[in-house]
Chain A
Amino acid sequence: DAKTTQPNSMESNEEEPVHLPCNHSTISGTDYIHWYRQLPSQGPEYVIHGLTSNVNNRMASLAIAEDRKSSTLILHRATLRDAAVYYCILSPTGNQFYFGTGTSLTVIP
């Protein structure tokens, strides 16, 4: 399975944009890029996914590099409720996910 590399932790001030990076240099052409987040004491929650083009939804935006070897999850205005562990995951079919340890995001009031 192709693996991803994320920083262990990041901090952001409340109401500022947050850019969470993910490197996936061994990504294959059929791998979708998924992002999930896990709030304290909860199960993971789907955030966004994409294949080649940038994607937007109500929660976040996903920017995918042209060579697809990296991607960035963008939270446009961080709130205290966005404090969570964010996972960047590659999967060709979505059946098997390798979550890794993710990035722990701290939002500072």
Chain B
Amino acid sequence: EAQVTQNPRYLITVTGKKLTVTCSQNMNHEYMSWYRQDPGLGLRQIYYSMNVEVTDKGDVPEGYKVSRKEKRNFPLILESPSPNQTSLYFCASSRAGTANYGYTFGSGTRLTVV
């Protein structure tokens, strides 16, 4: 089944403890992206990647890192999480030329930083 898989689904962590949220897609998509969703603010793009070793900042990149060493994986790294990064996170992927193709989203990761 074509899908975007995020892990973990739920995570509670403490301030300052480095964490990684994994994202993997099995559709050979070039584009991958991370979003966070907060009440009243909708979904905001954190980082995106147009292909292997190519990443760029979205609207809210501060406090996050990403890497794209392989086409299928696009992990989101929080080096020193803070409570304001408590949010629902979504990973998405698409074929090249996303204006002509839709994004496929993962099921989300709910992160709580205490």
Partner-B contacts on A (CB < 8 A): 32, 34, 36, 42-46, 49, 51, 87, 91-102
Contact = CB atoms under 8 A, between A and B. Distances in A.
Interface size class of B (residues with CB under 8 A): 20 to 34
- 10 residue pairs, one from A and one from B, having the closest CB atoms: A94-B98, A46-B102, A43-B105, A99-B43, A94-B99, A101-B42, A32-B99, A99-B42, A43-B90, A44-B105
Interface of B: 4, 31, 33, 35, 40-45, 48, 50, 56, 58-59, 90, 92, 94, 97-108
Contact of B42 (A32, A87, A96): A87
A95 B79 CA distance: 25
Nearest to A94: B98
B98 A100 contact: no
B42 A93 contact: no
Which among A42, A51, A92, A95 has the greatest number of chain B C-beta atoms within 10 A?
A95
A99 B44 contact: yes
Contacts of B102: 34, 36, 46, 49
A92 B99 contact: yes
Contacts of B100: 49, 94
A32 B35 CA distance: 20
A74 to B, nearest CB: 18
